[in-house]
Amino acid sequence: MDCLKVGKLILRLRNEKGYTQKQLANAMNISDKTISKWERGLGCPDVSLLRGLSEVLGVNIEQILLGELETNEVDGGNMKKIKFYVCPSCGNILTATGEADISCCGRKLSALVAKPSDDKHNINVDIIDDEFYITFDHEMTKEHYLNFIAYVTYDKVLLVKLYPEQGGEVRMPRLRGGKFYFGCNTHGLWLDSSAGK
């Protein structure tokens, strides 16, 4: 760990948050002299303080240890490049429109790769009262179920979270020019082959 780089990052993040050294120290129940020491590169935070520092400054522990923040290229925000992530521990569904380091429940998550729908993983989309009426035959047991259905256009994402033992139908507002994605808790992400209605 490069204490000089770590200190510069702590100083930068503290200033971005608008904290004085005293305010940061109080938030972490340590002395402001300790904060000053870190920022001058005369020492690094103790491992026992990294979690608290991470929470107060709003940055990953890994970035603090590296002493730098990696910035992604500016993304035009095209939702058609969306990536889906599902936490295997708690079931959180997260999305990103560009490169991202996503973690949940202490695990780093990888973007799911969409496969074209098949005989076992598919949805039926009808239009009723100018809404999408989506039905599916996929089992919905606690062990194997669809965990979400999403409709993605160039500027919007409509996402419905699904739960075990839920019925096999969903309604969504009708939009045009998008694609349907759906996630299976066991077999990953699927793209509806009849997308683009």
What pLDDT sits at residue 197? 46
Is the per-residue pLDDT at 136 higher than 90? yes
Residues of the chain with CATH 2.60.40.730: 79-191
Cα 131 from Cα 135, distance rounded (Å): 13
pLDDT on residue 196: 46
Asked: is 3-66 a CATH 1.10.260.40 domain? The reply is yes
Threshold 0.85, pTM exceeds: no
pLDDT confidence bin for 73, thresholds 50/70/90: low
Give the model's pLDDT for residue 76: 58
Does residue 157 have a pLDDT over 60? yes
Percent of the chain with pLDDT over 70: 93
The amino acid occupying position 28 is: M
In CATH terms, 79-191 corresponds, of 1.10.10.10, 2.60.40.10, 2.60.40.730, 3.10.20.30, to 2.60.40.730
- The boundaries of every CATH 1.10.260.40 domain in the chain are 3-66
pLDDT of residue 154: 85
